[in-house]
Amino acid sequence: MKGPDMRKLYFVLLIIITIGAVLMPESSLPCTSLLVTRGASADGSVMITYTCDGEFHPHLGYTPAGDHNPGDSIEITSWGGKVIGKVAQVPHNYSVIGMMNEHQLAISETTFEGREELENRDGLLEYWDLIDLALQRTHTAREAIHLIAELAETYGYRSTGESFSLADVNEAWIMEMIGPGPGGKGMEWVALRLPDGYISCHANKSRIGEFPLNDTLNCLYSKNVISFAVAKGYYNPDAGTAFKFCDAYCPDTPQNRRYADTRVWSILRRAAPSQNISSDYNRFVEGARPYPLWIKPDKKLTIADVFALMRDHYEGTPLDMTKGVDAGPFGSPLRCRPMTWTADSVEYGWERSISTPQTAFSFVSQSRAGLPDAVGGVFWYGLDDTYSSCYVPFYCGINAVPESYTVGTLKKFSWESAWWIFNLVANYAQLKYSYMMPEILSVQREIEGNFLAAQPEIEKTASALSQSNPALMTNFLTDYSVSHAELVVNRWRDLATYLIAKYNDGYVQDSTGRAREMGYPDNWLNEVTKSRPNRFNLVPK
C-alpha cells in the first residue's frame, strides 16, 4: 500500500483529535498524561496515558505495515484537504493501532502552547504529524525523539508548545518542544528519561525545568535551546539562576497553575499519599514550590491503579467537584463550558478535573519486555469520560479494529457508534448522578476486572502461538480484541436502556418495577431554602 493511502487510514483518528484541539479555546485546553516506569509498575510494564479532551467524535485508527518504493512520498494536507507539502517515504513502515505501534512504542501528548510568538505557521509538520511518523518509523522512545527532532529540522515545526510522553518496553521519556517563530527553522526542545521506579505527569503546561547538559543517557536537547532563549530575552544568564525550559518557554501564571498544576498535584498526591503533597502551589500560595517532575509512588502501580488515577474529580479534597451547591442535588462533577465567568466585575472559574465529560477518548498503554511485541503491547482504549467509560484491551499486533469504534459523527446520534453509546450513558447519568453512577461503575469494574483476570491466559496462549504459528497468533489476538470490544459496546447499550427505564421522569423504579418518589437530598434542599427564603413556605410566616 502506498504511503498517502496508508496515512489516511491512521489520520482518521489523528485528524479528528486535532480538529477538536484546534477549536478549543485557551480556557479549556485538552489532555492529561501520566508516565509510569518499569520499576514503578507492579508487573514491569512501562505505561503512559492520554485523555484527549474536546467535543468531537473520535474514530479508532489502524495503519497496516507496508513496503514502499524509492522516491515515494507522503502528502501533508491542511484541514481543508489542500496539499501543503510532502515528506519522503521510508522503505518500510510499522503497523499502528491508535497511538501504539507493533514494537510497543506508544506516544501521547498535551498542549501547553507557551509563547504565542514562537508558533511558526511556515513550518510543514504539526505535532500530530510528528507522532504519526515516529510511530510508523521507529522502535524505541529514544529513536522516536531523534526522528521527531530531525523531521522538525528538515521540514519545519508548525504547532505551538507541546509535551510528549513516549514509552517503549524499557524506558519512559518526556519531550517538550516549541517552535522558532515565523520563518524559523526546526524547534527548541528537551527530552528527559524518567529514572526507573518513578512516575511523572503533565497537563497542558511545560514541566521540564533544569536539565543536565552532559548526560546523553538521560537527557537530549536541541543545540540552541538555551542560546535561543537568551537571544529572545526569555533568559538572562547573568541573573545567577539556572536555565529552566518551562520558565523560558511557558511562563508560570495563576491561570495555568490552577488549570494544569491542579491535575498534576492530584495524580501525584494519590500515587504517593505518604508525601503529603500540598495543593498550595496550584492555589498560587506565595512561596509554594512547583511540583517535582517525577516522584516515587508509595507502591508499585497495577494497570487498574493507573485506570483509577485517570478517574478523578479531586474527591475527598477541598476541591471535590461532587460536593457543594455547584454539584447540584445529586453530586455531579459536570461543569458546562466555558470554564470561567464574571459576576459583579469579579472573575470566577470552575476546577478542571482529570475526568471530564468533554473527553473524546483516552488510553492507557502497556509496553512489556520479555514478551513477543505482538503480545506485550496493549493499548487499553476508552471512549468518552474516563470516569464512566470502560477500558478495552487492543493488542498491538492485531490487524483490524471493531466497526463500532470506527463509525459515527458528532452531528447525529447513532446506536451503531461506540462513542455515542458511552456518551449517552454518561450524559443520562447527570440526571441523578449519585444514583446512576454507582450502577455504571459496577458494570465497569466487572468488565475491566474480567479483562485483567483473563489477561495472563490470553497472553500465554498468544505467546505459544507466536512460536508455532505467528499468523494464527495475529488472528487469535485480533478476534479477542475486536469481539470483546463489541461485547462491551453491547453491554453498554443494555446499560443505557436499563438506566433510561429505571430513572424516568424523576422517579426511581424499585426491584418490582414500581416508580418511587425519591426527592432531593436534605443538604441541597437546605441550600435552596437559604438562597430563596420564604419562597417555598407552605404556611406563611
Note whether 333 and 376 are within 8 A (CB): no
Note whether 65 and 335 are within 8 A (CB): no
Q: Is residue 393 in a domain?
A: yes
* Total count of domains within the chain: 2
Domain that holds residue 449: 370-517
Q: Is residue 92 in a domain?
A: yes
**What are the grid coordinates assigned to 85, written together?**
507539502
Q: Is residue 144 in a domain?
A: yes
246 and 111, same structural domain? yes
How many helices and strands, by DSSP H and E, does the chain display? 13, 23
Q: Note the pLDDT of residue 169.
A: 98
Q: How far is CA 232 from the centre of its chain?
A: 32
Q: Taking residues 455-466, what's their average pLDDT?
A: 98
Is residue 4's pLDDT more than 60?
no
CB atoms within 10 A of CB 128: 20
Question: How many degrees, rounded to 5, is the angle at CA 507 between CA 503 and CA 510?
Answer: 75
385 and 344, same structural domain? no
Q: How far is CA 152 from the centre of its chain?
A: 23
pLDDT digit string (tens) for 66-119?
999 999 999 998 767 789 999 999 999 999 999 999 999 999 999 999 999 999
Alpha helices in 24-179 (DSSP H): 127-137, 141-155
37 and 118, same structural domain? yes
84 and 46, same structural domain? yes
65 and 186, same structural domain? yes
392 and 288, same structural domain? no
Q: Is residue 529 in a domain?
A: no
Q: Note the pLDDT of residue 29.
A: 52
**What are the grid coordinates assigned to 164, written together?**
510528549
Q: Is residue 390 in a domain?
A: yes
**What are the grid coordinates assigned to 140, written together?**
524505541
Q: Which residues contact 1 (CB under 8 A, 6 or more apart)?
A: 64, 66
493 and 426, same structural domain? yes
393 and 333, same structural domain? no
Is residue 12's pLDDT more than 90?
no
**How far apart are alpha carbons 394 and 402 in whole angstroms?**
10
428 and 301, same structural domain? no
Whole-angstrom CA distances from 285 to 89, 255, 288, 289, 380 are 51, 13, 6, 9, 38
Q: Is residue 357 in a domain?
A: no
Note whether 28 and 6 are within 8 A (CB): no
> In the chain, what percentage of residues exceed pLDDT 90?
91
Number of residues assigned to the chain:
541
> pTM of the full predicted structure?
0.94
468 and 416, same structural domain? yes
186 and 42, same structural domain? yes
pLDDT digit string (tens) for 346-385?
999 999 999 999 999 999 999 999 999 999 999 999 999 9
Whole-angstrom CA distances from 503 to 389, 423, 438 are 20, 17, 13
Q: Is residue 305 in a domain?
A: yes
Q: Is residue 527 in a domain?
A: no
81 φ/ψ angles, rounded to the nearest 5 degrees: 90, 0
**What are the grid coordinates assigned to 271, written together?**
500515587
Of 319, 349, 379, the position where a domain reaches its end is 349
Is residue 526's pLDDT more than 60?
yes
Bridge partner residues of 394 (DSSP) = 379
**How far apart are alpha carbons 383 and 389 in whole angstroms?**
6
146 and 23, same structural domain? yes
